[in-house]
């Protein structure tokens, strides 16, 4: 277990795992992480630009509401059809990106450093998913309101995501249910429960499951289909992983 002595400016020079951290340590780590600082800073800039050229009240509220509603759908699409695809690791220029933004997270779901998305992929995605819609509703001010909403929603999603991997059972029933579904995605069957806080799109597209008994255990839950056999044909991710393809549970695995 980490101690308070580890929570200093050099905190991110070491590797940390959420199943070995307390809630307090998570909060401290969360607000020190560069990606979260960047999201908050970008949200502040967007709010400042909104104040400079604001939209009327109703278009502003509409931009914020649409950004909140669109976000879960955008995440579902990206999570299911991009991050869980079997094509990115086959494209050499994209292999490193796929490894960083999702493969590493499934290889060790509680590894805090790779839980957060990479800024070079998340920031453009958030902007494209929110700002154009906001602009159509309220012009420049609407775009900035929607962009700020997207950045702050991302911070909320990331914090809930961290809590879902923390070694404790939330007292809140809703949060506990979210954690149960997300843990099933990581440790039982990765082809369902793609949401983080919102599972409406999982229900709509037929990928939702409440109990692990509803599905068979997936053999690719930790490697997303990038097996040692697949790595022989498309070796880039393996090369970036030190020539190793890890298999099995991250705490009880043999390496092949």
Check whether 9 has a pLDDT greater than 80: no
Residue 128 CA to residue 124 CA, distance in Å, equals 6
**Is 9 within a domain?**
no
**Is 83 within a domain?**
yes
Query: Can you give the pLDDT at residue 13?
Result: 60
Q: Chain centroid to CA 46: how far?
A: 22
**Is 251 within a domain?**
no
Instruction: Give counts: helices (H), strands (E), the chain.
Output: 10, 0
Residue 7: band (very low, low, confident or very high) from pLDDT cuts 50, 70, 90: very low
Count of the separate structural domains present in the chain = 1
**Is 249 within a domain?**
no
Query: Can you give the pLDDT at residue 252?
Result: 63
**Is 8 within a domain?**
no
**Is 245 within a domain?**
no
**Is 171 within a domain?**
yes
**Torsion angle of alpha carbons 30, 113, 82, 157, nearest 10°?**
-10
Helix 23-32 vs helix 34-52: crossing angle, to nearest 10? 60
**Is 147 within a domain?**
yes
* 216 secondary structure, DSSP code: P
Query: How much is the mean pLDDT over the chain?
Result: 89
Spatial CB neighbours of 59, under 8 Å, sequence gap ≥ 6: 137, 138, 139, 141, 142
Check whether 167 has a pLDDT greater than 90: no
CA angle 1, 106, 128 (to 5 degrees): 110
Domain that holds residue 236: 16-240
Helix ranges (H only) for 167-233 are: 173-187, 200-205, 228-233
pTM for the model: 0.88
């Amino acid at each position: 277990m980490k101690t308070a002595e580890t929570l200093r400016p050099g905190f991110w020079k070491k590797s940390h795992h959420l199943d070995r951290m307390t809630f307090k340590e998570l909060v401290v780590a969360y607000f020190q992480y560069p990606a979260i600082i960047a999201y908050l800073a970008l949200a502040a800039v967007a709010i400042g630009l909104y104040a400079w050229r604001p939209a009327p009240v109703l278009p502003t509220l509409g931009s914020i509401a649409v950004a909140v509603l669109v976000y879960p759908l955008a995440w579902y699409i990206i999570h299911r059809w991009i991050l869980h695809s079997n094509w990115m690791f086959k494209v050499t220029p994209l292999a490193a990106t796929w490894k960083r933004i999702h493969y590493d997270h499934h290889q060790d779901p509680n590894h805090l450093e790779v839980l957060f998305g990479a800024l070079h992929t998340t920031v453009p995605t958030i902007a494209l998913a929110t700002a154009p819609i906001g602009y159509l509703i309220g012009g420049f001010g609407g775009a900035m309101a929607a962009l700020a909403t997207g950045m702050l929603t991302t911070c909320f999603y990331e914090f809930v995501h961290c809590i879902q991997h923390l070694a404790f059972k939330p007292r809140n029933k809703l949060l506990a249910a979210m954690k149960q579904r997300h843990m099933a995605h990581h440790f039982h069957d990765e082809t369902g429960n793609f949401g983080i806080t919102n599972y409406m799109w999982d229900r709509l597209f037929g990928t939702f499951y409440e109990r692990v008994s509803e599905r068979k255990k997936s053999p690719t839950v930790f490697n997303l289909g990038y097996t040692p056999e697949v790595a022989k044909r498309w070796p880039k991710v393996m090369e970036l992983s030190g020539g190793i393809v890890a298999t099995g549970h991250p705490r009880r695995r043999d390496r092949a």
